[in-house]
Amino acid sequence: MNRSARFLLPVLLTAVLCCPALLAAQESQDTTILTQPRPRVGPPPANATAAELETKADELREEKSYADALDYYRAAQKKQSSAVLLNKMGITELQLARRDEAKKHFEKAIKADRQYSEAYNNLGVIYYIDKKYNKAIKQYRKAIQLREASASFHSNLGTAYFAKKQIDDAMKEYIRAMQIDPEVFERKSQAGIAAKMSSPEDRAHYSYVLAKMYAQSGNFDRALVYLRKAIEDGYKEIDDVYKDQVFAELRKDKRFGELMAAKPVSIPQ
């Protein structure tokens, strides 16, 4: 979940734990906040195993029944403590907008397993949300040291650099994220990451940086998509596109000329 790093509100829900496909929240950093109370389910069965309780908790999280999910994670944790469960509890707390509680669970997960990359990433998300960007960067780097081939970790680190206006460093991490997962920014976009940026100026700048990144990689289709978004959000330095060597090949594309001539304006939502 950063046009600074405010966009990637390490979900942003935009990290995945040891069961990789399980929690988009962990990898990406985007956080879904509970807005409507839901009917409570029954209490965790006393005779259920830790694995059964965890599975039920995962299902409840998918249904956005976060309070119930937390009850089941707690019950599973009492039967069989693990860093994975602590991490999931932290994510659930974050989804309930309880940052302090979430932070404690991520820290406990790290204490339980010093090699658990997702917990470092998620702790970085907490610091990012609190605008403690240096601390966020430190945690993201630790996560990357443990699991370098994570697109979300690199994307989150790039977002934190973006928040500090260290654009070159941000670009480096974004490019690495895209090398690992070419679709990473498309998924973050669909998750509404851009909407989490603090201002139209930030959103415009972020889109311009992505346009530059895609142009550099030769993906002109997506470069034009993000260039359009930058224009729509009123990026003030848009004329740099005529001078920056990264856009040299894109400037030869007929669609580029048409886009710049049209100068589209964003339609208020």
pLDDT tens digits for 84-136?
A: 999 999 999 999 999 999 999 999 999 999 999 999 999 999 999 999 999 99
| Beta carbons within 8 Å of 34's beta carbon, 6+ residues apart | 64, 66, 67, 95, 96, 97
Residue 189 lies in a domain: no
Question: 9-54, pLDDT tens digit by residue?
Answer: 333 444 333 333 233 334 344 444 444 556 677 899 999 999 999 9
Averaged over 224-246, what is the pLDDT? Answer: 93
Are residues 149 and 28 both part of a single domain? yes
Residue 189's pLDDT band (boundaries 50, 70, 90)? low
Taking the C-alpha atoms of residue 14 and residue 3, their distance in angstroms, rounded to an integer, is 17
Are residues 67 and 163 both part of a single domain? yes
Looking at residue 197, what is its pLDDT? 52
**CATH number assigned to the domain comprising residue 41:** 1.25.40.10
Averaged over 139-156, what is the pLDDT? Answer: 96
Which residue, 150, 170, 190, sits at the end of a domain?
170
**DSSP conformation letters of 114-163:** TT-HHHHHHHHHHHHHTT-HHHHHHHHHHHHHH-S--HHHHHHHHHHHHH
The two structure tokens encoding residue 96 = 């309930």
The two structure tokens encoding residue 28 = 């990406």
Are residues 95 and 55 both part of a single domain? yes
Backbone angles phi, psi at 198, to 5 degrees: -75, -25
Domain holding 250, by residue range, is 199-269
Are residues 95 and 22 both part of a single domain? yes
Highest mean pLDDT among 15-29, 67-81, 178-192: 67-81
Closest residue by Cα to residue 179 from 158, 157, 154: 154
Are residues 29 and 145 both part of a single domain? yes
Looking at residue 263, what is its pLDDT? 79
Residue 260 has pLDDT above 70, yes or no: yes
Q: pTM for the complete prediction?
A: 0.77
Residue 32 lies in a domain: yes
Distance spanning both ends of the chain, measured CA to CA: 20
The two structure tokens encoding residue 228 = 């359009």
Residue 52 lies in a domain: yes
Looking at residue 262, what is its pLDDT? 87
Which residue, 170, 187, 210, sits at the end of a domain?
170
Are residues 9 and 109 both part of a single domain? yes
